[in-house]
Structure formats: C-alpha cells, structure tokens
Amino acid sequence: MLKPLVMLIAGLLMVAAPAAVAQDPLQDERILLTFVPNIQFAPFYLGIEAGHFAEAGFAVSLDHLQEPEVLDLVAVGRANYGVVSGEQVILARSQGRDVVYVFEWFQQYPVGLVYDSALALAGLDDLRDKTIGLPGRFGASYSGLTALLHSANLTEADIEISEIGFNAPEVFCLGLVDAAVVYINNEPLQIQQLADAGDCGDVQAVAATSVAQQVDLVSNGLIINRALLDDDPAAAQRMVGAFAEALRATIDNPAAAYLASLAHVESLPRAAPLLEALESAADAQHDFLRGLPSRAEVAASRADLAKQLKSRFAAPVLAQFVILLSTIELWDADQLGKSDLASWRAMRDTLQRMGFLGEAPVELASAFSNQFVLAAE
C-alpha cells in the first residue's frame, strides 16, 4: 500500500531536485557598520529590503561596532566587509592591518563646525581664542578639526579645545563652547530645532562650516580584507556592485529608502500620514525615474519633495527624513565610490600633523582600490 506512495514522493523529489540546484543558496555575509542603527545607513537597509544584495548572491546581516573593532575584525577575517572612515584605514595600515578600501561611500567629508550665526565669523581665522567642543582627540572629528585649522593657518594652540564627548547639541546650547565639531548632515539640524523651540540659550540660528569646503579628505567607505581581495575578487566585485546599486537607488528615491529603513531603525518616526505621504512620493519618484532624468533633475526632485513635506509635517516628525536628504548631498556624485590619491594624501598629511603616524612613511597605493568601482560601471 505504502510502496506506490513512496515511489510517487521519490519521483516528485527527482523532478523537483534540478530546479532546487539551479538556484544557488545565498551566501551569508556580515557587514560591520559603526554607530547604531540610523537613517544614515539607509543604503544598506534598502540594499537588503529591495533585494540588491540578494540579487548579487548575498544574505546580508548588519552589526554595529566602534570603528577600531570594525577594522580589526575585518583585518583578521572575522568579517569580510566593514564601513569605516578613511583616516582609520591609514592608521590601521600603519599598525599592520592589511585592509583595502574599495568604495568611497561619502564623497564629501561629513565633519564640520557649528556655531551661533550671531558669532558672525568672517573667516576661519576668527576662530582664534575661541572654545571649540570636540568629542575627543580621536576619530574623524579630530581629523576634520585639524584639517580645518590647518586650512586657516591655525594650530590647536590658537584655540581652546574642550572634550565634550558626543554631546555637542546639549553642550553647545548650554553655552559651554563657542563652536562644536559635529557631523554636518545631522547635528546642525538638531541644534537648529532646539533653537527654534527656544531650548538653546540665546542662540536663534546656527551656521555651519564644513571641512569639505576647505579640503578634500578621504571619507567613509567600504573596506575588505586582503585575503578576500586575493582569493575571491569576484565576490568583492558583486558586493561592491550591489552596494553601488543600493546607494544610487537611495539617492534617486529617498522616500523608498526611508520606508525600507523602518524595518531596521526602531526610532524612526512612523506616523501613518507621514508613511502614506512617503509611499505616494516613492511611487511618483519611481515613475519619474523611468524618464531617465539627469543627476541635477533628481536633486531638484528631492528638493521639491522636501518642500512639500515640510509644508505638511512638523519639524520633529520630518527630522529623520531631512537628515537622510542632507546626508544624500554628501554621497551624491557623477561617479559613486571612486576615491582619489589626492584625498588620501591630504588625509595622511593631516594625521601626520596630528602626530598619529610614526616616522615610517605610510604607503597609500595599496590602501585603496578603485578596480571594483570601475568594473561595476
């Protein structure tokens, strides 16, 4: 009685087997990010939710760590991919970590200086004798401040540095510092909101100066370890290609990227009217992109969307979406992902000025590679 049934199941399995084999299983990959889940990582969330990584053969998971931990784990092969800022790659390589930077995510260095617009700085030279808040003498903020001071022929001795941790909005609004080194896409907006609400002392409006306006420093990007580059460059190529697609999709359709990020960032505002507006905007943008608009036209469409939404929603509701839009300005470029030797040299010189590099010269040519970016085009 059972025999025909067993034979039937075996037959069905034999028919089904080739179909299962034909579709390769996705390769698990962990990408190490810094900070905490945040809208600024939207391209990764969109890459997962919209299937960019899956189409490239990856089942991607994300972990958030401190930058040195990201770099060390990639260097020893505990993870194949990570995202760190450019100066970390130079510092780590000077200490024997053989990682390679393969995709410049932020085309503009995201650090800048925020100050009360009433301070009326005519130029950076006016920073002399001012108290500047800095998270600490480490990381991208310190590199950015050093580069900024150098561009104005100033040194640390010309200003007063106050180590304030990552509390710039609060410390600035309490009036403990004249200016603060911040992430330019995020914190000036937060401080302005506090000022608008009357919670920022005498400050009515804030002004910001970005490091990128003064000097081109290599910024945050995707790193891989040397072993992966040597042993499986095809996998690295697929990952870079998938991330480039996800990044372009985020730049082109930020509303869709915000909606994709909801599954990854618990703190994102998700009121129904906002989500309905974003869904509608995402659909409209999808249609608009079919016409193959230029980069400038896409940028104009983002500006229009921001204007429309600002007329409908209160600033706190829209804040995270506005942060995404201002961060996109730091990512956008005609050619995504490519870094140039001049920006690496500028960063190395900055680190040398900071006294972070030893006597031995740090070789830059093997610190980064544009091969996957160029091949992905």
Partner 1 sequence: MQSRQQLDALPARLWRKWLRVLAPLATILLLIGLWQLIASLELISPILLPPPAAVAGALSKSLADGSLLKHAATTLEEMLAGLCIGVAFGLTLGYAIAKAPLLESLLSPLIVAFQSTPIVAYAPLLVIWFGTGVTGKIVTTAIIVFFPTLVNTIAGIRGLESRLRDLFRSLRASRWQTFRHLELPAALPVILAGLKTSSTLAVIGAVVGEFVSARYGLGALVIAARSRYDTPMVIVSALTMTALALALYSLVAYIEWRVMAWRRQSTA
What residues line the site for partner 1 (CB under 8 A)?
66-68, 71-72, 75-76, 91-92, 94-97, 135-139, 161-167, 170-171, 174, 176, 356
Question: Within 10 Å of residue 101's Cβ, how many Cβ atoms?
Answer: 24
Between 225 and 369, CB nearer to partner 1: 225
Reported in sequence order, the residue ranges of the chain that DSSP labels E, i.e. its strands, are 27-33, 58-64, 81-84, 99-104, 111-116, 131-134, 160-163, 179-183, 206-210, 221-225
Nearest distance, CB of residue 173 and partner 1, angstroms: 10
Nearest distance, CB of residue 78 and partner 1, angstroms: 9
Backbone angles phi, psi at 310, to 5 degrees: -65, -30
Nearest distance, CB of residue 213 and partner 1, angstroms: 25
Contact (CB, 8 A) for 102 and 195:
no
Question: Within 10 Å of residue 233's Cβ, how many Cβ atoms?
Answer: 15
Burial of 212 (0-12, 13-18, 19+ CB in 10 A): buried
Q: Which has the closest alpha carbon to 156: 176, 138, 131?
A: 131
Nearest distance, CB of residue 230 and partner 1, angstroms: 17
Compute the distance between CA of residue 342 and CA of residue 344 in angstroms, rounded to an integer.
Answer: 5
Between 162 and 371, CB nearer to partner 1: 162
Nearest distance, CB of residue 150 and partner 1, angstroms: 19
Between 162 and 193, CB nearer to partner 1: 162
Q: Beta partners for 59?
A: 28
Nearest distance, CB of residue 352 and partner 1, angstroms: 13
Compute the distance between CA of residue 232 and CA of residue 240 in angstroms, rounded to an integer.
Answer: 13
CA 126 to chain centre: 31
